[in-house]
Amino acid sequence: MRLKNIPVATWASLLVVASGVFLTSCGGGGTGNNIPFPVVTLSPASASVAAGAPLQFTATVVSLTNTTITWSVNNILGGNSTVGTVSTSGLYLAPASVPNPATVTVKATSSAETNPYGAAIVTITAPVVNAAVAIVPLDASILAGTAVQFAATVTGTDNSAVTWYVNGTAGGSSAVGTISPSGLYQGPTTVPNPATVVVTATSQASTSDSASTTVTLTSSNTAPLFVNFGLNGNTGNPNTAHYNGLFTTIKVCLPGTPICQIIPDILVDTSSVGLRVLDSALTIVPATELGTVKDSSGNQVEECVQFPDTSYTWGPVVVADVVLGGETASAVHMQVMGDTTFPVPYSSCLSLGSGPSLDTVAALGANGILGIGNSLQDCGLNCAGGQTFSAYPYYVCPNYVCQAAPLPVVQQVANPVAFFTKDNNGVEIILPAISSVGAPALPYANADGTGLIPAGQLIFGVGTEPNNGLGSATLYALDTNGNFPQVVFDGFTYSSGGSLNTAANALYLANPLALGILNCADNPYYCPGSTTPISLTTYGANGASGTVVLNIANADLLFADNPDFSAFNNLAQESISGLSTDYFELGLPFFFGRNVFVGIAGTTVPNSASAPNGYVAF
């Protein structure tokens, strides 16, 4: 193409910028002597572009003779896959990965006589990736010194490589455990403090994208304690959500064999005694394979247990080896929840109150209940005969007709802790302190590994190991009913006393209405105008007394502010009907930030206190 000469003075006004290709100047007049040196300029003159992304250049050619231009990248005509390509229209396409060096030069070169060119510096950056990282397994617990293999899945990018961190340190450390490039976590040989560490996998393609989970280290006499909504998750409805659910993981084995099943999500309950596992949860170790407990006539023993809220479970009493943490209770009697052989005896079992059956995951929100209260067996002498009483929990079903029956103490469902070979006189329950606004769960860590809230610890034995000494805790001997003999609140003595119950999701308090604390309008909890501290004085049967300060928050505000949170240390509700004989049942909120001991009746008490009915200490 031939361009007409134009006066220099008019060039600027006549420039026509054709997208990326060239400029054609047309005009008339002027002389050859005035023809300027041809000029090519590129726009933009410098730019950054993500690998694999396009970038449009515009070349402006000022020439009277030739406006044809050619495009190159690093002087390679049209570029290539390493440095990126550029089309005849100036569309630059960055290479799929960042070249080395990461800057390239894009040129538009004129075919005019002096081959003038315009150049732009392009920096190729790592591609913007919205990578999502996921880790399995979640919230593992392992014995100190053992290992667990993690796997990370990266989506949103072709680069699946991750970098592993433990507590924010790439590769971890000997104190908190190490992790290999392939995700094999090797726990430290001693339990760190806190016992929970955070494992983080960060996408190498996009270092701002990561996922984290926790590992809780246990020692030979500890098991992890988790707080969450349980297997039914967050229902989003304060009337049905299982706030402050306390869970652990157990192992159940066929007696005397290595055939075992690890079962997570077992409710931890200091208000009951004995292990009860859903029939449906016993898959590797089926209930039918476990040892049976029979009466003298050879009838399988069944049990109907009614819980304090009138819910119940019905199922056979069986024999299993039960492993908690590193301790084993051999041939301990436990209950299978749910029975397909014998129907629930409606006339007696269900006349006791008749709440819902807990014998499904949907009803229980867990795989079972670990009762670690203050006695050896769930019933004791009252169920062992000598008296006949329709409220016996034990039944036999000759000819498929189930009748309440006495059962010798040694055959009853037993506290597995009491059947360990050591560390068998009780437990210590340690839950970390949490914020007054609550916590999502225990354990918990943000995706980037920050914000660790450790799991709790269930420690077996009281005063039997370096990790379970009573220390300065006050020991409260329980009365014959298993309660604090009395509780004093707001100047009034409550002679029904109270108890500590890990399975209760709130603080059940008597008569806070006297302090102006009102019930919420649409859920069962308290809704004071602002968080209100209360002070209780608890008494032991051994004469001990102490002050317990608790906070009552507005439950509506707690739930509204953090609808995903499951753990609250200030969730409370009315114990009974505001009557003066009420009973104080201090549920899980009491346990956050405390070390609480539960001593089993009849065991050796560490400090020689008199506690024939067992004790609690904190």
Footprint of another protein on this chain (CB under 8 A)? Answer: 232, 235, 239-242, 267, 269, 271-273, 305-311, 347-348, 351-356, 358, 363-366, 369, 371, 373, 375, 378-380, 382, 387-392, 479-483, 485, 495-496, 499, 501, 503-506, 508, 574-577, 579-581, 583, 585, 587
Residue 221 or 603: which CB sits closer to another protein?
Answer: 603
* Length reported for the chain: 618
Residue 373 or 461: which CB sits closer to another protein?
Answer: 373
DSSP result, 79-140: EETTTEEE-TT-EEE--SS--SSSEEEEEEEE-STT--EEEEEEEEEPPP---EEEEES-SE
Q: In angstroms, what is the minimal distance from the CB of 261 to another protein?
A: 22
Q: In angstroms, what is the minimal distance from the CB of 315 to another protein?
A: 16
Burial class (CB in 10 A: 0-12, 13-18, 19+), 200: buried
* Phi, psi for 201 (deg, rounded to 5): -115, 120
Q: In angstroms, what is the minimal distance from the CB of 283 to another protein?
A: 22
CB of 228 closer than 8 Å to CB of 442: yes
Q: In angstroms, what is the minimal distance from the CB of 578 to another protein?
A: 9
Residue 107 or 242: which CB sits closer to another protein?
Answer: 242
Q: In angstroms, what is the minimal distance from the CB of 228 to another protein?
A: 13
Residue 256 or 308: which CB sits closer to another protein?
Answer: 308
d(CA 508, CA 511): 10
d(CA 20, CA 6): 22
The DSSP letter of residue 474 is P
d(CA 605, CA 251): 28
Q: Which residues fall within 8 angstroms of residue 237, CB to CB, at 6 or more apart?
A: none
Residue 85 or 613: which CB sits closer to another protein?
Answer: 613
Q: Which residues fall within 8 angstroms of residue 208, CB to CB, at 6 or more apart?
A: none
Residue 479 or 556: which CB sits closer to another protein?
Answer: 479
Residue 84 or 373: which CB sits closer to another protein?
Answer: 373
Q: Which residues fall within 8 angstroms of residue 466, CB to CB, at 6 or more apart?
A: none
Q: In angstroms, what is the minimal distance from the CB of 352 to another protein?
A: 5
Q: Which of 109, 118, 128, 157 is nearest to 49 (CA)?
A: 128
Q: In angstroms, what is the minimal distance from the CB of 549 to another protein?
A: 21
Residue 22 or 476: which CB sits closer to another protein?
Answer: 476
Q: In angstroms, what is the minimal distance from the CB of 449 to another protein?
A: 31
Rama region for 464: left / alpha / beta (φ>0; ψ in -120 to 50; rest): alpha
